Structure 1
């Protein structure tokens, strides 16, 4: 046959006839696809849950630390404002008290307040800052 001369060419379309091709392909591919999808979903779920288990407590701890720092600053600010306000009001009230004429031998609260005023101890008391 190799000594034959070829004079022309011809083409033939081959169309396979596969009855129930779609049904058979589904029957073979879908069970495998289901198993692959389940495996991928399981692995992704495990990875996500491992990270969430670590991330949530870290976020709570970091938020708590930041909140504690802010609360400390706000407490200092509120306490300082209260202290300054109380000091002003006490100074005004103390200055508005009537001057008492107290002798050296007098006793009691009035005598003690007069002696504090006379020695300047009241002013010194306001200028002192409590140790933090």
Structure 2
């Protein structure tokens, strides 16, 4: 009985924490205190990723297009595995020298799955600015 009550209390507190965090985030965004860099203002980016290869060795091919009207320079593109112990990446930061409007930028990263029996994981691709936190 006490275990169920403890679990329910934990879940309730966790939901309150998530709600308070979301409210604080919305307040920060509304007040204009966001840490967003102005160099990305007016820029929209389309990103596609594809996996080339099977088995423990493969490549992730990243295709980025600036669909906005302003060029962006020195754009870091981060590859972040959900479980760092699952994949070994050749590089975790790809540096794009320039994203010009309408022109694609393509690069690939070699990956190795450390334990093929562990199943599949997730690798997130993040287009950042040089001053992103």
TM-score, normalised relative to structure 1: 0.29
Q: Comparing both structures, which one devotes a greater share of its residues to helix?
A: 1
> Could you state the TM-score of these two structures normalised by the residue count of structure 2?
0.29
